[in-house]
């Protein structure tokens, strides 16, 4: 392939629009890879589309290798399928709903569990036809409230989604593992630094387990913790807390009684005023879950992770109890003096962090302004409470698997795999006959990869101040030939000759044959980030060109006849 910039539909921008916050968004717009149509909607331009096609090819090869079979379903789905599972309501406002001319309801697919389950229930009859895994690479639509960061969070995006169908839980686990391993291979081939983390199941659902594949990048919206000593990694909202050491005790906390501490409302300040370790001053946090008041109780030195609390309660979210309800519940208490005593008698569910139970005694709010209560015995006071891992896990905390200190990072979710069990097959009646002729529900898994998001994630991980640095595997071309002076006959002839030779050897070549100043061409080449640049300039007459590697700008002068051999070697090194 040879792409000539003189005739290509290609334009770089000196400046990105001011609202482009993410590096990948700015660089992909400036390099002429994508153009915005409207908020969260993009057109992939010729060079950008080549990147997408390369990512798709790698995904497709590894899906096929894992035994999955490719199909293509429509993006427009009858809403009636979503009625069958109840997701028409549960999915929320991100689901784009529309009607056809006959007034029939449809949705634009944000994901395809219902459609694939419907497809398979119409075909599969017997255990002999199982297992089966189907996939597609297709546009998805999610009506994001705030599309941003370019391809990282668009409304329409390209996704590979796969669905596995098995006889039982064991089969489902095997299909899940095959897909998990395919994902590991895909991200390795793409050159993306990713970590697989245990994840919440979210709107896709199921209870069997889930992993997210996170591309490490500061712009990532997810926080993860991971261990370098073993392979433990988890989303912060899923990271398992391990028992914290017990700090030195103090008789002040042990002696039963009320103490007056007006105007000191923060646990750290209260601990200091009383001369005890902060761990001993409990936090009592009032929340509402599904309309019910609940209290989360933690050591003073720990932070509540609301997502863990919500997940343990099986609700989408918990919200702080309104001031009005707090006043009604505890008329004499004010912020800073709320405590756990007497709450369960008023119908408040108590949820206590395990580290609290390890304290021999503690200090808590007295539910009366200005007073704290000392000498609380947690194992007595919380005998009937639910004990739950609720605390936030931080970098430096011990790894729950091996004890080494955890590291923390932000990640871009580039893939997720789910064990769905019978969440979709049961309500939709997707069944098969087993060996004994018994009707059983199919066990499913679903597996997504964000193809267009991966392109942006690669840029987030691989760029410098001058532009993008594409890894060879997804670069829009392998070699960028720059003819410095198009007025110079020797340079023009040699540039063309080089491009032809490399292309004939199977390399993809961009040739900058525009009537532009050399400075403009070099700037554009840096911005576009093709792995190898060949500059044909003053020494063309001597048969010498300059080869430069984008990654580290290592530059050498070469004889034209050496070029193909050298490129082959550099290509092999995956530069
Ligand atoms: Zn570890």
Residues 202 and 90 in one domain: yes
d(CA 160, CA 254): 59
Residues 277 and 373 in one domain: yes
198 C-alpha to ligand 1 centroid (Å): 14
212 C-alpha to ligand 1 centroid (Å): 18
In Å, how far from its chain's centre is CA 194? 10
pLDDT-derived band at 204 (thresholds 50, 70, 90) equals low
200 C-alpha to ligand 1 centroid (Å): 20
Cβ proximity of 6 and 136 under 8 Å: no
174 C-alpha to ligand 1 centroid (Å): 25
452 C-alpha to ligand 1 centroid (Å): 32
232 C-alpha to ligand 1 centroid (Å): 5
459 C-alpha to ligand 1 centroid (Å): 29
pLDDT reported for residue 18: 87
Residues 213 and 272 in one domain: no
226 C-alpha to ligand 1 centroid (Å): 8
d(CA 112, CA 524): 40
- Residue 282: which of 335, 338, 323 has the closest Cα? 338
Under DSSP, the state recorded for 241 is: P
pLDDT reported for residue 390: 95
The pLDDT mean for the chain works out to 94
In a domain, 392, yes or no: no
pLDDT-derived band at 202 (thresholds 50, 70, 90) equals low
Q: Which residues contact 111 (CB under 8 A, 6 or more apart)?
A: 140, 161, 204, 446, 448
Query: Which pair of tokens denotes residue 133?
Result: 């895994």
575 C-alpha to ligand 1 centroid (Å): 32
- What mean pLDDT is predicted for residues 210-221? 94
Residues 507 and 563 in one domain: yes
Residues 340 and 452 in one domain: no
224 C-alpha to ligand 1 centroid (Å): 14
In a domain, 42, yes or no: yes
399 C-alpha to ligand 1 centroid (Å): 5
pLDDT-derived band at 207 (thresholds 50, 70, 90) equals low
154 C-alpha to ligand 1 centroid (Å): 35
Residues 124 and 266 in one domain: no
504 C-alpha to ligand 1 centroid (Å): 50
400 C-alpha to ligand 1 centroid (Å): 7
pLDDT reported for residue 252: 78
In a domain, 229, yes or no: yes
pLDDT reported for residue 251: 77
341 C-alpha to ligand 1 centroid (Å): 38
458 C-alpha to ligand 1 centroid (Å): 27
- What is the sign of the dihedral through the CA atoms of 76, 82, 87 and 92? positive
pTM recorded for the entire structure: 0.85
Q: What is the CATH number of the domain that holds 555?
A: 3.40.50.800
167 C-alpha to ligand 1 centroid (Å): 35
53 C-alpha to ligand 1 centroid (Å): 37
Query: Would the pLDDT of 575 be above 60?
Result: no
234 C-alpha to ligand 1 centroid (Å): 11
Most confident of 48-62, 332-346, 370-384: 48-62
In a domain, 397, yes or no: no
Residues 210 and 279 in one domain: no
402 C-alpha to ligand 1 centroid (Å): 4
391 C-alpha to ligand 1 centroid (Å): 19
pLDDT digits (tens, 9 = 90+) for 18-42: 889 999 999 999 999 999 999 999 9
d(CA 298, CA 291): 22
pLDDT reported for residue 363: 96
pLDDT digits (tens, 9 = 90+) for 42-100: 999 999 999 999 999 999 999 999 999 999 999 999 999 999 999 998 888 899 999 99
410 C-alpha to ligand 1 centroid (Å): 18
213 C-alpha to ligand 1 centroid (Å): 18
pLDDT digits (tens, 9 = 90+) for 247-264: 887 777 788 889 999 999
pLDDT reported for residue 250: 76
359 C-alpha to ligand 1 centroid (Å): 26
Phi and psi dihedrals of 526, rounded to 5? Answer: -65, -45
Query: Would the pLDDT of 308 be above 80?
Result: yes
In a domain, 90, yes or no: yes
Residues 185 and 41 in one domain: yes
CA distances from 383 to 323, 344, 352, 378 (A): 28, 11, 10, 8
pLDDT reported for residue 236: 87
pLDDT digits (tens, 9 = 90+) for 447-498: 999 999 999 999 999 999 999 999 999 999 999 999 999 999 999 999 999 9
15 C-alpha to ligand 1 centroid (Å): 44
85 C-alpha to ligand 1 centroid (Å): 39
Question: Judging by DSSP bridges, how do beta strands 544-549 and 532-536 pair with one another?
Answer: antiparallel
pLDDT digits (tens, 9 = 90+) for 407-441: 999 999 999 999 999 999 999 999 999 999 999 99
261 C-alpha to ligand 1 centroid (Å): 42
pLDDT reported for residue 198: 84
196 C-alpha to ligand 1 centroid (Å): 14
408 C-alpha to ligand 1 centroid (Å): 13
In a domain, 498, yes or no: yes
Residues 72 and 202 in one domain: yes
pLDDT reported for residue 39: 92
Residue that finishes a domain, picked among 334, 354, 387: 387
Query: Would the pLDDT of 573 be above 80?
Result: no
231 C-alpha to ligand 1 centroid (Å): 6
406 C-alpha to ligand 1 centroid (Å): 7
- Residue 238: which of 58, 477, 113, 411 has the closest Cα? 411
pLDDT reported for residue 219: 94
241 C-alpha to ligand 1 centroid (Å): 13
What is the full DSSP assignment across 135-200? EEEEEEE---SS-BTGGGB-SEEEEEEEEEEESSHHHHHHHHHHHHHHHHHHHHHHT--EEEEE--
308 C-alpha to ligand 1 centroid (Å): 21
- What mean pLDDT is predicted for residues 356-361? 94
Residues 57 and 189 in one domain: yes
pLDDT digits (tens, 9 = 90+) for 538-561: 999 999 999 999 999 999 999 989
In a domain, 150, yes or no: yes
Q: Which domain holds residue 202?
A: 23-240+408-459
Residue that finishes a domain, picked among 327, 358, 387: 387
In a domain, 558, yes or no: yes
390 C-alpha to ligand 1 centroid (Å): 20
Task: Kindly provide the b/e burial profile for residues 233-252, where b requires at least 16 CB atoms within 10 angstroms of the residue's own CB.
Answer: bbbbbbbebbebeeeeebee
202 C-alpha to ligand 1 centroid (Å): 26
- What mean pLDDT is predicted for residues 117-129? 97
pLDDT digits (tens, 9 = 90+) for 179-197: 999 999 999 999 999 999 9
Residues 227 and 290 in one domain: no
Residues 227 and 288 in one domain: no
228 C-alpha to ligand 1 centroid (Å): 7
405 C-alpha to ligand 1 centroid (Å): 8
pLDDT-derived band at 287 (thresholds 50, 70, 90) equals very high
pLDDT digits (tens, 9 = 90+) for 485-534: 999 999 999 999 999 999 999 999 999 999 999 999 999 999 999 999 99
Domain count, the chain: 3
- 159 conformational bin, left if phi > 0, alpha if psi -120 to 50, beta if neither: beta
489 C-alpha to ligand 1 centroid (Å): 63
pLDDT reported for residue 201: 62
């Amino acid at each position: 392939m040879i792409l000539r910039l003189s005739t290509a539909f290609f334009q770089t921008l000196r400046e990105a629009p001011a609202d482009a916050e993410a590096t990948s968004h700015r660089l992909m717009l400036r390099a002429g890879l994508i153009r915005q149509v409207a908020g969260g909607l993009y057109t992939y331009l010729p060079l950008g589309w080549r990147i997408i096609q390369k990512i798709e090819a790698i995904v497709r090869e590894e899906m096929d290798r894992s035994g999955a079979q490719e199909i293509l379903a429509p993006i427009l789905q009858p809403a009636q399928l979503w009625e069958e599972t109840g997701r028409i309501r549960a999915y929320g406002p991100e689901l784009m709903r529309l009607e056809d001319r006959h007034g029939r309801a449809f949705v634009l697919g944000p994901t395809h569990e219902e459609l694939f389950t419907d497809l398979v229930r119409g075909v599969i009859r017997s255990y002999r036809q199982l297992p089966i895994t189907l996939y597609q690479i297709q546009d998805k639509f999610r009506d994001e409230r705030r599309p941003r960061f370019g391809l990282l969070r668009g409304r329409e995006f390209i996704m590979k989604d796969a669905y596995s169908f098995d006889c039982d839980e064991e089969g489902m686990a095997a299909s899940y593992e095959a897909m998990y391993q395919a994902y590991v291979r895909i991200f390795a081939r793409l050159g993306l630094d990713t970590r697989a983390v245990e994840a919440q199941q979210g709107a896709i659902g199921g209870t069997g387990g889930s992993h997210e594949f996170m591309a490490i990048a500061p712009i990532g919206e997810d926080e993860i913790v991971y261990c370098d000593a073993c392979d433990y990694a988890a989303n912060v909202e899923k990271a398992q807390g391990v028992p914290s050491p017990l700090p030195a005790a103090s008789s002040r906390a042990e002696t039963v009684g009320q103490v007056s501490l007006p105007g000191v409302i923060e646990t750290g300040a209260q601990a200091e005023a009383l001369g005890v370790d902060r761990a001993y001053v409990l936090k009592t946090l009032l929340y509402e879950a599904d309309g019910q008041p609940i209290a989360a109780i933690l050591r003073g030195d720990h932070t509540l992770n609301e997502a863990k609390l919500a997940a343990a309660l099986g609700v989408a979210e918990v919200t702080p109890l309104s001031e009005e309800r707090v006043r009604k519940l505890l008329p004499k208490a004010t912020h800073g003096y709320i405590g756990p005593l007497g709450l369960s008698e008023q119908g408040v569910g108590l949820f206590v962090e395990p580290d609290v139970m390890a304290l021999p005694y503690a200090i808590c709010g007295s539910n009366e302004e200005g007073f704290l209560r000392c000498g609380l015995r947690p194992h007595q006071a919380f005998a009937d409470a639910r004990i739950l891992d609720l605390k936030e896990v931080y970098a430096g905390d011990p790894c729950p698997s091996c004890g080494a200190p955890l590291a923390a990072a932000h990640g871009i979710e580039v893939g997720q795999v789910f064990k769905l069990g019978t969440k979709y097959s049961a309500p939709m009646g997707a069944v098969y006959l087993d060996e004994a002729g018994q009707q059983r529900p199919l066990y499913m898994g679903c597996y997504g990869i964000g193809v267009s998001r991966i392109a942006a994630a690669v840029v987030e991980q691989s760029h410098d101040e001058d532009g993008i640095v594409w890894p060879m595997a997804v670069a829009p071309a392998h070699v960028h030939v720059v003819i410095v002076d198009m007025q110079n006959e020797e340079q023009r002839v040699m540039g063309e000759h080089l491009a032809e030779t490399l292309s004939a050897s199977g390399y993809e070549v961009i040739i900058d044959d525009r009537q532009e100043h050399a400075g403009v061409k070099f700037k554009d080449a840096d911005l576009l980030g093709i792995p190898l640049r060949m500059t044909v300039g003053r020494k063309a007459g001597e048969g010498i060109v300059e080869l430069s590697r984008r990654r580290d700008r290592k530059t050498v002068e070469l004889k034209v006849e050496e070029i193909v051999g050298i490129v082959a070697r550099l290509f092999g090194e995956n530069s």
